[in-house]
Amino acid sequence: MISNLVYEWRRLWSVRATWIMTFVYLAITGLLGAGPLFLGDGSFGTQTWKGLYSTNANFLCLVMLSVVASQFFGHEYRYGTIRLTLTEFPKRERVLLAKTLALAVYVTIATFLGWAVLGVVGFIAPEGSIATEGPGLNINGGEASELWQVLVFGFAYCVIAMSLTMITRNLALGIVLPLLVSAIIEGLIQLFAGVANGKLDRIVDVLPFANGTAWLTHLPDQPNAGLIFAAWVVGIYLIGTAMFFKRDA
């Protein structure tokens, strides 16, 4: 298993795209974190340290990580290297486990680096721009209840991206589909639900990313949000796994 992980780690960091996307992720995280602190005139509300450290749960940040996540399988299928990988490691369950673990490690490192960047941003922010109380700013709807959830939410988003790439065998779809659903489709469904006299409420209740965000921020009226989001992540991952095992390399 160690050699599987070494293989994945070398595969991950030996392409320039990983370095570029990680850098862009950190840059966007820093800019999104700095924006309210440096440009705000009080009308944005109050930013807290926890709100600041929740910045990298923002979809704009996560889409950068999802590019790397999609590459775990996307590059393999696009360039045919999956056949080299599976010749070297014939047991597919080990390949999948190694890729998932490598993704977890990558997301963890990237998230901690993101927090380091946000720490620097907070350190140099104008005095008084970070409050110790009150709701923090975050484009996804607020600050995370607990910071570990930022890490888990980011990993879950990346697992969805990687799984969709497994299913579609298409790098671009693995990146675009989660973004499209989270940023546009769920919003449209919620919009239609507002004028559908409750006919779409059941669908709205089980939207993946709306539930994910609700779990992240502990919305009180959605106690099962975490379970619903987890069910989506696990479900998509299992479908991807089944496809990976069933189809020819």
**Tokens coding 124:** 């140099």
Task: Give yes or no for residue 1 binding another protein (CB under 8 A).
Answer: no
Kindly tell me which residue out of 90, 128, 198, 220 binds another protein, with binding defined by CB under 8 A.
Answer: 90
Distances (CA, A) of 177 to 164, 181, 185, 190: 8, 6, 10, 18
Q: Which of 49, 59, 77, 89 binds another protein (CB under 8 A)?
A: 89
Tell me which residues in 8-37 interact with another protein (CB under 8 A). Answer: 10-11, 14-17
3-state class (DSSP) for residue 200 = coil
Task: Look at residues 212, 215, 189, 214 and name the one whose alpha carbon lies nearest to residue 202.
Answer: 189
CB of 243 to another protein, least distance (A): 12
Interatomic CA distance for residues 19 and 104, integer angstroms = 17
Q: Which of 24, 86, 105, 203 binds another protein (CB under 8 A)?
A: 86
Nearer to another protein, 68 or 160 (CB): 68
Residue 3: is it exposed, middle or buried by C-beta count within 10 angstroms (0-12/13-18/19+)? exposed
* Total chain residues near another protein (CB under 8 A): 26
Binding to another protein, residues 209-248 (CB under 8 A): 246-248
By CB under 8 A, residue 106 contacts another protein: no
| Least Å from the CB of residue 8 to another protein | 8
Provide CB contacts within 8 A for 119, sequence distance 6+: 53
Q: Which helix (H) or strand (E) holds 59?
A: helix 59-78
Residues that bind another protein (CB under 8 A): 3-4, 6-7, 10-11, 14-17, 75, 79-81, 83-84, 86-91, 246-249
